[in-house]
Chain A
């Protein structure tokens, strides 16, 4: 066997598998997005099987874009969730990375504690947060508010100084199961899970920071903040870009958290909307899917360019 053939043969299974994985379902989605295809329709049974005769052109796209009331809401909500999570994880991740980037007692344990949330399975993360922590009655959220209210009413009942507290209101616990607030719940839990990811990458990157430059800056009298802004932050520019884009891609397809926290309460993102359409209107689900692919690709192109550049270093 020649020097070229064997390496090529070794790659073949991986390439073929991924090619099939990418092409087969995606071309089916593309096809379905151009035909009328529903799972149940008693009056038009011919629409219930995928058939080229039911060609609809861009009809499904028009339906999704202009008539289905949830599409724009889902896009907006997807971007809101992704944007908030990225912002929060980068800020927290930077803070943690800078904090841990010095020697102190128990640093190893602190690292381990910080990284742990990342390994919790998403389903458990969502169930844990929405029930045991954020529940307005039985979760820690509810218990804490109840505790505060009890303290206030005890103070109000004190003889003498009680009247001083008379006007303090009773606090209502915030429910995280409504449409808007459950988006906040999703943001909280995903931020909790992904901050370790950002922190870990920044920590790794900080270790390669030029210390001599930093010492020079200190000798020149640069403060901690100036050092961070003019040395550390520029050094972290590429890791930040990578963290932002990887998270954008992962969180645009966020699903388990939405499914668990928001099922049926109106909060939805694109993958969840696709799941809803897919329970009957396959044409619309596929059209939405194709648009989600386009959205993800816009981010992916930038990310792949950065990664491709660093590949051969």
Chain B
């Protein structure tokens, strides 16, 4: 900020302090969850152990026993990784073609793709159940979860990639064409290395969205392909008995993702506003 916008001495101290206080308040629920995960179930609901207690790792050691955590975590991992890979393998060529060889319809196609994201999922809940359960036999399979996660994230991924590709100067491509580089060479040797950062953050964001998804993963699975969202949803009301162990399993479920999120917060804006705010 420019030196002109220096307010009073009061302001230079007050506003940063307010920002810090608010930030800590916002972070508090997460901090509280992590803190509670180190308490025993009994201690977790006692007011006298609110902040001072004997920390224990018991909840983390017993995650498998209490909740079968790893089975759900592995399902989440498998479905999110493969959905991300599949989305990218379909999305990269599409975004590439639209950014570098736009036609009259490119804009309409992009907007239409985005509009599929805006359909309320609940509207097609029963047909999806019907199709996958009665007709295709895909209900509660990893394949189905991967497919659905890919489809719901495909528009966002294409849009993000499109905005990254658009930033690559056309001249570089033209120069490549002059030198007789083939289409594939152009894509593999010129564009993708330049867009590497954008590609990585798109993949990261797609992975996060897949991991956190909580409608289809809950409604289209029962046990075999059930993800962490399903696990947590199934333990929605511990009635105060299991705050400690539930916090541990929640922390394990969101911790890595929150940390990953810190690394792609700048790219998040692009992904979430579809390039409309830069």
Q: Which residues in A have some Cβ–Cβ distance to B below 8 Å?
A: 3-4, 6-8, 10-11, 13-15, 17-18, 21-22, 24-26, 28-29, 32, 50, 95-96, 99-107, 109-124, 126-133, 135, 137-138, 140, 143, 146-147, 192, 195-197, 200-201, 204-205, 208, 211, 214-215, 218-219, 224, 238-239, 242, 246, 249, 252-253, 255-256, 259-260, 263, 270-272, 274-275, 278, 282, 285-286, 289-290, 292-293, 295-297, 299-300, 303-304, 306-308, 310-312
Which residues of A are found within 8 Å of B5, using beta-carbon distances?
Answer: 102, 214-215, 218
Question: Could you tell me if B240 and A116 are in contact, using CB atoms closer than 8 angstroms?
Answer: no
Please report the C-alpha to C-alpha distance between residue A130 and residue B93 in the assembled complex, in whole angstroms: 44
Question: Could you tell me if A293 and B119 are in contact, using CB atoms closer than 8 angstroms?
Answer: yes
Please report the C-alpha to C-alpha distance between residue A110 and residue B23 in the assembled complex, in whole angstroms: 6
Question: Could you tell me if B126 and A278 are in contact, using CB atoms closer than 8 angstroms?
Answer: yes
Give the residue among A14, A103, A201, A256 with the most B Cβ atoms within 10 A.
Answer: A14
Question: Could you tell me if A270 and B120 are in contact, using CB atoms closer than 8 angstroms?
Answer: yes
Question: Could you tell me if B265 and A131 are in contact, using CB atoms closer than 8 angstroms?
Answer: no
Question: Could you tell me if A8 and B97 are in contact, using CB atoms closer than 8 angstroms?
Answer: yes
Give the residue among B115, B124, B211, B261 with the most A Cβ atoms within 10 A.
Answer: B124
Closest to B157 in A: A14
Which residues of A are found within 8 Å of B120, using beta-carbon distances?
Answer: 252-253, 270-271, 289, 292-293, 295-296
Give the residue among B15, B261, B265, B272 with the most A Cβ atoms within 10 A.
Answer: B265
For the complex formed, measure the closest distance between the CB of B42 and the CB atoms of chain A, giving whole angstroms.
12
Which residues of A are found within 8 Å of B119, using beta-carbon distances?
Answer: 22, 26, 293, 296
Question: Could you tell me if B122 and A275 are in contact, using CB atoms closer than 8 angstroms?
Answer: yes
Question: Could you tell me if B272 and A197 are in contact, using CB atoms closer than 8 angstroms?
Answer: yes
Which residues of B are found within 8 Å of A201, using beta-carbon distances?
Answer: 269, 272-273, 277
Our pick among B118, B212, B237, B266 for the contact of A249 (Cβ within 8 Å) is B118
Assess whether B181 is interfacial by the CB under 8 Å rule. no
Question: Could you tell me if B23 and A114 are in contact, using CB atoms closer than 8 angstroms?
Answer: yes
Please report the C-alpha to C-alpha distance between residue A22 and residue B115 in the assembled complex, in whole angstroms: 9
With A116-B258, A132-B36, A238-B277: A104-B16 Cβ-Cβ less than 8 Å: yes
For the complex formed, measure the closest distance between the CB of B272 and the CB atoms of chain A, giving whole angstroms.
7
Closest to A211 in B: B2
Assess whether B96 is interfacial by the CB under 8 Å rule. yes
With A119-B258, A246-B272: A114-B94 Cβ-Cβ less than 8 Å: no
Question: Could you tell me if B30 and A120 are in contact, using CB atoms closer than 8 angstroms?
Answer: yes
Question: Could you tell me if A124 and B254 are in contact, using CB atoms closer than 8 angstroms?
Answer: yes
Please report the C-alpha to C-alpha distance between residue A157 and residue B100 in the assembled complex, in whole angstroms: 79
Our pick among B2, B97, B211, B214 for the contact of A10 (Cβ within 8 Å) is B97
Please report the C-alpha to C-alpha distance between residue A18 and residue B109 in the assembled complex, in whole angstroms: 11
Please report the C-alpha to C-alpha distance between residue A116 and residue B60 in the assembled complex, in whole angstroms: 22
Which residues of A are found within 8 Å of B78, using beta-carbon distances?
Answer: none
Which residues of A are found within 8 Å of B155, using beta-carbon distances?
Answer: 18
Question: Could you tell me if B232 and A123 are in contact, using CB atoms closer than 8 angstroms?
Answer: yes
Task: Pick the 10 closest A-B CB pairs, nearest first.
Answer: A289-B123, A119-B261, A271-B122, A104-B16, A25-B124, A7-B97, A138-B240, A28-B127, A7-B101, A10-B93
Closest to B274 in A: A307
Assess whether B29 is interfacial by the CB under 8 Å rule. yes
A-facing residues in B223-251 (Cβ within 8 Å)? 228-229, 232-233, 235-238, 240, 243, 246-247, 250
Question: Could you tell me if A13 and B123 are in contact, using CB atoms closer than 8 angstroms?
Answer: no
Please report the C-alpha to C-alpha distance between residue A133 and residue B98 in the assembled complex, in whole angstroms: 47
List the count of A-B residue pairs having beta carbons below 8 Å apart.
316
Which residues of A are found within 8 Å of B18, using beta-carbon distances?
Answer: 99
With A22-B116, A123-B214, A253-B120: A242-B22 Cβ-Cβ less than 8 Å: no
The interface residues of chain B, by DSSP majority, are classed as: helix
With A10-B96, A25-B128, A113-B24: A102-B123 Cβ-Cβ less than 8 Å: no
Which residues of A are found within 8 Å of B214, using beta-carbon distances?
Answer: 121-123, 255-256
Which residues of A are found within 8 Å of B229, using beta-carbon distances?
Answer: 121-123, 256
For the complex formed, measure the closest distance between the CB of A136 and the CB atoms of chain B, giving whole angstroms.
11
Per-residue A-contact encoding for B7-38, CB less than 8 Å = 1, 0 else: 10000000110111011101101101100100
Assess whether B253 is interfacial by the CB under 8 Å rule. yes
Question: Could you tell me if B107 and A113 are in contact, using CB atoms closer than 8 angstroms?
Answer: no
Please report the C-alpha to C-alpha distance between residue A271 and residue B250 in the assembled complex, in whole angstroms: 25
Question: Could you tell me if A104 and B114 are in contact, using CB atoms closer than 8 angstroms?
Answer: no
Please report the C-alpha to C-alpha distance between residue A255 and residue B121 in the assembled complex, in whole angstroms: 9
For the complex formed, measure the closest distance between the CB of B52 and the CB atoms of chain A, giving whole angstroms.
14
Give the residue among B26, B121, B237 with the most A Cβ atoms within 10 A.
Answer: B26
Which residues of A are found within 8 Å of B208, using beta-carbon distances?
Answer: 119
Our pick among B121, B126, B260 for the contact of A32 (Cβ within 8 Å) is B126
Question: Could you tell me if B126 and A286 are in contact, using CB atoms closer than 8 angstroms?
Answer: yes
Closest to A245 in B: B118
Assess whether B183 is interfacial by the CB under 8 Å rule. yes
With A18-B116, A205-B277, A246-B273: A121-B7 Cβ-Cβ less than 8 Å: no
Assess whether B47 is interfacial by the CB under 8 Å rule. yes
Our pick among B20, B32, B96, B232 for the contact of A140 (Cβ within 8 Å) is B32
With A14-B154, A121-B254: A200-B212 Cβ-Cβ less than 8 Å: no
For the complex formed, measure the closest distance between the CB of A172 and the CB atoms of chain B, giving whole angstroms.
18
Our pick among B23, B125, B258 for the contact of A120 (Cβ within 8 Å) is B258
Please report the C-alpha to C-alpha distance between residue A146 and residue B120 in the assembled complex, in whole angstroms: 42
Give the residue among A101, A127, A201, A292 with the most B Cβ atoms within 10 A.
Answer: A127
Question: Could you tell me if A113 and B154 are in contact, using CB atoms closer than 8 angstroms?
Answer: no
